[in-house]
Amino acid sequence: MLERHIQLLFTDDAAGEAPAATRERLKGLFPAGATRRMTTLGMLVGGALGRLDPGEEDAIVYASGYAETCALESFLDSFPTPSPTLFQTSIHPSAVQQLMIGRQRPVREFLPHSGGALLAFHGLRAALLTPAARTLLCGGEERGTWLLDHGLASPRTFAFAMALADNPASGDAGTIALSADPGLGELGIAEFFDLLHRRTTFDGMVAPGWRLRLRWR
């Protein structure tokens, strides 16, 4: 069984909130002027991840199925004269990079994951397998517009970040574990976020052959 203690957890559910309102709400978490170059998802993920104060020795695991959807939509809309800036901000791990580059902080291990119904499982398994003393598991999505009509974007906007460690400490939020199980099932990234956001105890299948156990204190 793979198990770690949840030291800290931050979640942000922007359900029904306009992107401009989300950006206004979060801009105080970043240096003045920095948010002009940040995507909405970058501000959401960066706001949650930044509260964990990531350091050089931490491992960062990032999970997002669609990532910077709005930047990608705008990049595609910019043809036939494509925007290099929009391309740069539309790449998958951009949300984490926006925070870490802005802070000018190196990271020893960075494992981004994308796509598929088993995204939550792949991100979590990577976080539980890394040998780092502290692993930061983060993720999120941003609501699309015209890409959503083609099934190529998330219908929701949310983000989360948690710090995981091998050893318990006072103030731990709970434990999270994966174990082999012959059963079938899957848990999407949005459903995984809901479990974290609502601090829901869970014992069920997250992928074929794998069971997730989530306990809170």
Condensed to tens digits (0 to 9), the pLDDT of residues 150-193 reads 988 889 999 999 999 998 877 789 999 999 999 899 999 999 99
Q: Please give the pLDDT value at position 129.
A: 96
pLDDT average, residue stretch 109-118: 91
pTM of the predicted structure, to 2 decimals: 0.92
Q: Please give the pLDDT value at position 177.
A: 97
Q: Please give the pLDDT value at position 116.
A: 84
Whole-number average pLDDT of the chain: 91
For residue 159 the two structure tokens come to 């983000």
Q: Is the dihedral of CA 97, 99, 104, 110 positive or negative?
A: negative
- What's the alpha-carbon Rg for the chain, to the nearest Å? 17
Determine the topology of domain 2-174 in CATH.
Peroxisomal Thiolase; Chain A, domain 1 (3.40.47)
pLDDT digits 0-9 by tens, 29-65: 888 888 888 889 999 999 999 999 999 999 999 999 9
For residue 151 the two structure tokens come to 């099934």
Q: Please give the pLDDT value at position 198.
A: 97
pLDDT of 75 > 90? The answer is: no
- Strands 59-63, 134-141: pairing kind: parallel
CB within 8 Å of 86: residues ≥ 6 apart: 71, 72, 74, 75, 78
Residue 113's pLDDT band (cuts 50, 70, 90): very high
